[in-house]
Structure 1
Amino acid sequence: MNLRNTTLLVVLFSATTFYAQESTLADVNLSVEPKLSYLDSIKSTFQKHDIAACVEERWMTELSNQDLYSEMIADIENTNIDQKVDYDLSTELLKERLKALDAKSAFHIEYNPGLENIIKHYLKNRKRSYERLMALSQYYFPIFEEALSKYNVPLEIKYLAVVESALNPRAVSRMGATGLWQFMYGTGKQYNLDITTYTDERSDMLKATDAACQYMVNMYKIFGDWDLVLASYNAGPGNVSKAIRRSGGKQNYWNIRPFLPKETQGYVPAFIATMYVFEYHKEHGITPQKPIVNHFATDTILVKNKMSFKQISELLDISVEQLQFLNPSYKRDFIPYQADKKHFVRLPLDKVAVFTSNENQIYAYCDYDFNKREKPFSSQEMVATSTDVSMISKTKYHKVKRGESLGLIAQRNGVSVTELKRWNGLKSNNIAAGRSLKIVKEERVADVPKKAVEVPVSKAVVSNDTIKVKAKSVETAKFHVVEKGESLFSIAQKYDVTSEELKAWNSLEEETIQSGSKLIVTALVKQKTENHIVQSGESLSSLSKKYGVTIDELKEWNELEDNNIKLGSSLKIMLPADEEVVVAEIKVKKPEKQSPYKSEKVYIVQKGDSLFSISQKIKGVTVSDLKKWNGISGKNIKPGMKLKISG
């Protein structure tokens, strides 16, 4: 009986211990927070505004699809307007509606069988396309109408963009015409549309629309008829003039139509048919789809730094596709920065609010992201690869100012919010102004290479090829690879030493240094560590005076959050080494003066050689050099001649 009870107690105790351990482990696991990325820490500081989003991503692919443009162009080029189309629309009713359109339009809209056929073709075969186009038109048409009104151009010309590009700002024809208004490269340049590697303003809805209006005004001055202006927009004014001459001087579009290029013959009918479908869509049961975005619910922001659509997408939680739709003139999904030219980004209003409220953080993240990219091989990398690199931890303290958040402090110091909370024992993101936060930074330090020596702060005894050192406080050797254009003075300024010290440490007799040579410069001071037991009445202030260090150094060495220290606690004090260092000798190899030429002193001229081809073969030698060194006045040289290739 006693044995059974004892066994039961052991089992219960074991189970309790096991579950207690599980519970503890669970608690530990739950308390571990995932490390926030720099992007997350940036976004956690954003001021946000509760404005309903005006763009729905599910419409993006549907409404900005290139196939609408392809369908429209194929219709214009291939539809036979003389072929009858079976559709439930009486000719009499169509004539009545066309007459009503003509009464309020600057165009000559008159019934003819060809126009009837193309209207019925659109109503029968392109109903779905027009539902999509009408959704897009609710975004673009207000912009078009404002510009057309400004230039006193008929507002109906807004339908021309439907025919030209199917309202796709990135549409590109087989001939290279681009944008909503399908400008060719030369015409775009003629109307001051900027076209570069990164931007194409033919796709900018505001600038391209303005250019299209100017073109229309200029063509109307020539032809005085808006139908012919449309024809010239497609075929060019030269082809329209030829058609007028070939028709015997007739100036009605329908009369000169047979003499126009094939594409232009279907162009004006397609324009009028599109106008009819838009004006009478309700009567034919065509219901516009929901607009992707309302023009008045977007705005532009001046961009003050280069940034990519991907970065904006990550920061503002807006899809790259939406950014492409709203900013089609940036053809590489990248907004450049130029001091002499302004660039803007168009965003939905709720995103505009977030962008303008957090510009500094946004630009900081873009710089951070660009700087992560692989850099070209540099002299600094050469220095690093020539030595062993180790990581050291440095602790500093930051006093929280009014208005600062953990995210902002983390961003400025290149750490995560989670790390800040862990170092400072914080359980939430709330932080009071005035508190001192501990920040631990990992830094890369180049160690002394093998066979490296130690260079003192004090004077060195210099001979021709050695530096003899004897000192109490020494420094670890650090090297600098001379870059093009640097001088001893500029390098001395960089490392806070004198030119004379650099000359002494590197056994230099002159100020001249060659690009690519390696110089010894100052480095990290070696120190010894001493532990101090805090006595009654001592403070950080009194200890800093006693040891000749600063209060901040004491706090950093001992990871103290404030100035309070406890009686009996042990403090780490870093002091210069007391022991005398044995004299060391540094072997310094002087940089060799390198000839810019090859080792050969004479070049034997080969068949087909010229002074120019020889100068190209020999690095650092010019045609003038060859002439001067060999007393040549002209360009003639003969095979077998021996030329000096060194001064």
Structure 2
Amino acid sequence: MQWKKIFYAIVLTSPLAASAQGPRINSDGKRLAMLESSERAESNNNKVNAQKAHMDSMMAAKALPFTMNGNGKVISGTPASEVKSKNTNVADNRKAQELPPAAASVKPIAKEEPRLAALRPSERVYEANDKFKAVPLAGETDYYGNMNGYMVNYVKNYMGHFSQRLISINGRSECFTTIDRVLKQYSIPKELKYLAVIESALLQNARSPVGAVGYWQFMESTARLMGLTVNGRRDERKDLTRSTQAAAKYLSYLYDQLDDWLLVVAAYNSGPRPVVNAMKRTGKDDFWSIKSYLPKETQNHVLAFVATATIMERLNHFLLPGMPANFDWALLNSNRGEAAAKDKKFAHPLLSKFSEEEVKKMAMVRIKTPLDLELVAATLSIDRRMLGKWNYDYFDFLDTYKAGNTYNFRIPKEKLDAFIEKKDYLERASANMQL
């Protein structure tokens, strides 16, 4: 009937007919708006062809060397050369099509190189810090030297085995917010938060076979030395803020002694003594030189930390979709140049004597009970970093402390009288912090 022909003609040329196809998805997993012609085409077939050609041209400009489904998962990998070849064929086919007047008036889209940003690691963001050097991530050739290839390959394998675990860690971002805030207060580099990831997976009630508890896996004795309350009624190792404050103090003390973050991570796992002994045995002050002299668990702990920090800081955007098959791992490599030059190591106090100038300014007092360095520094107005470096072996004393042991505590000569006057107070206050 005549009215049916008119009805179908209206429906086929309506914009609703085009939108009924549903949203289109580009290679980034984002919706693309449906194209509308400025004029109605003479027939629906020509209109659909024009839209398809224009859409293909847009996709050619945004093409990536891998494709993703609507959920953001990589579903196939295509070499960049093939992507370019397919885009060229699309452009050639478009010229051969008979386009409606409106579409024919559209200027051809300029050719663009495939967008490779999604295939690159995130740039490393360095935060200025006058107290501590940066944490070395995998790929930083100025730090790792000829071990860089080994470290990058370790990260690659680690991501393949533990990506699902790291994805679940990403869901606990509220923990990272608290940890970042506390570490910043102590000027500890933000990358040290990933030490808590490999210690406890950010689980409050985590407990190790040897009795370490909480987010930062403190043993009871070390927790008390760092000012945490641990008794039958309360265990602050399970308090995220308080335990992170204790971890920040402990990390800063270990850094004063070891002057290298990978050595600090090793000492956090094994205790300072095995690391110090390995340094004295080899005469070296870097992780790779003493690695074989450390417990196997400690070696793996350090490597897992570097891998976790590198993935979470620079490869995080690949966790959910998965690593593309054609990812170039050499893109992790970088050399900080001038920034690295500022981190140049000087003679380590464990391997050399103090300078003549330091010895002239130094006084030693014998102590029989552990003192809290933060408390001493605040009470006597001494620079905490200097106090820690002068007493670089202090944790050897704490780690093996027994009643009757003594330690030659180094302080500035100008503070000697104040220290003697405040000694009783410092001993009582430090002991109360360890209850």
TM interval, shorter chain, is 0.3 to 0.5
> TM-score if structure 1 supplies the norm length?
0.28
Higher Rg: 1
Query: Of Structure 1 and Structure 2, which has the larger fraction of its residues in helix?
Result: 2
> TM-score if structure 2 supplies the norm length?
0.41
The structure, 1 or 2, with the larger RCO (C-alpha pairs under 8 Å, 6+ apart) is 2
Query: Of Structure 1 and Structure 2, which has the larger fraction of its residues in strand?
Result: 1
